[in-house]
A and B are shown apart, each in its own frame.
Chain A
């Protein structure tokens, strides 16, 4: 049975570990809880060998290693978790944002043919490349790694950053294109404009946050 002092020692260790972990919040919380459980099990094992509760806790913490060492060991997995989280978010929001622009900018039915769509939305090939990249990286970082080469954590983060970058370029380009056409006197259905601008504008903020997170995660890869 642990004393308040022993609990405080473990709590300080886990607080420091949480501070040094970098990744999605739920993943970091799970890591801290799992390591906390492991420390308790380790301390029980040492206590069963005859150590005092205080010495058992010290031995358990030494067994796990410094929080910086444990955090470094988890850096790769948390980086992949971050990259996958962001790629999934971008792939899911893609159609929710993208549906409005062809409706808005492709004014005739020919605009829904591939050539017409690309003429109306020149960034479309870039978006298509980003989608393919996102899907491939998700495959190469998930359960398909049994069959396809696995991406490294750094590669996963780079891909998420690149896909996010494409989304920033695409959303910005579409908003600029719409502004230019409105300035030139073109008129569009107000509701469609509102939907497209809100979707792209809103996602821009989210994507910028995501790219900043990816760049931050890359800095922490390989650092203790």
Chain B
């Protein structure tokens, strides 16, 4: 598998995080695992970068968080807000436009 550099995801990380939360609330590590599993291991982001990105999305109002108890330990669980779902629609539209433009310049065959 071709290695994908983490910096290639800059600008798209928000969309990835919103996308994995679309299915339902997740705590931080579950978000990381969802990205790894959902990309079949192509995106193995530094774990430390995901949590601050989630905090920023919460600051923007795209996700909410609550502390939940799991087996005697607390986890911060994140959930998509209505604004987050709207932002995800925008992210997908932007990505389609971006990927179409890149594909036609790189000469990718579909």
Binding site for B on A (CB under 8 A): 30-31, 33-35, 37-38, 40-42, 45, 63-65, 69-70, 72-74, 76-77, 80, 141-143, 145-146
Consensus secondary structure, chain A interface? helix
22 A-B residue pairs with Cβ-Cβ distance under 8 Å, sorted by A, are A30-B76, A31-B51, A34-B51, A34-B75, A34-B76, A37-B75, A38-B28, A63-B47, A64-B48, A65-B47, A69-B46, A72-B48, A73-B46, A73-B49, A73-B52, A74-B52, A74-B55, A76-B52, A77-B55, A143-B60, A145-B60, A146-B83
Once A33-B74, A38-B29 are accepted as A-B contacts, the answer to whether A65 and B46 lie under 8 Å apart by CB is yes
Q: Is B85 an interface residue (CB 8 A)?
A: no
Rounded to whole angstroms, the CA-CA distance of A35 and B75 in the bound complex is 9
Contacts of A141 in B (CB 8 A): 59
Question: Which A residue sits closest to B30, measured CB to CB?
Answer: A41
Contact A73 B51 (CB under 8 A): yes
A residues within 8 A CB of B87?
146
Q: Which of A38, A80, A142 contacts B51 (CB 8 A)?
A: A38
Q: Which residues of B contact A142 (CB under 8 A)?
A: 59-61
Residue of A nearest to B31 (CB): A38
Complex-state Cα separation, A42 to B27, whole angstroms = 12
Known contacts A37-B75, A38-B27; 11 further A-B pairs (Cβ under 8 A): A34-B75, A34-B76, A37-B28, A38-B28, A64-B47, A72-B48, A73-B51, A77-B52, A80-B59, A143-B61, A146-B83
The answer to the question of B10 belonging to the interface, with a C-beta cut-off of 8 Å to chain A, is: no
The 7 A-B pairs at the shortest CB distance, nearest first, are namely A143-B61, A41-B29, A70-B48, A73-B48, A38-B29, A77-B55, A77-B52
A31 to B76, CA, bound (A): 10
Residues of B within 8 A of A63 (CB): 47
A143 to B28, CA, bound (A): 21
Task: Report the bound CA distance from A80 to B32 in whole Å.
Answer: 24
Provided the pairs A30-B76, A38-B28, A40-B73 are in contact, do residues A143 and B47 lie with their beta carbons within 8 angstroms?
no
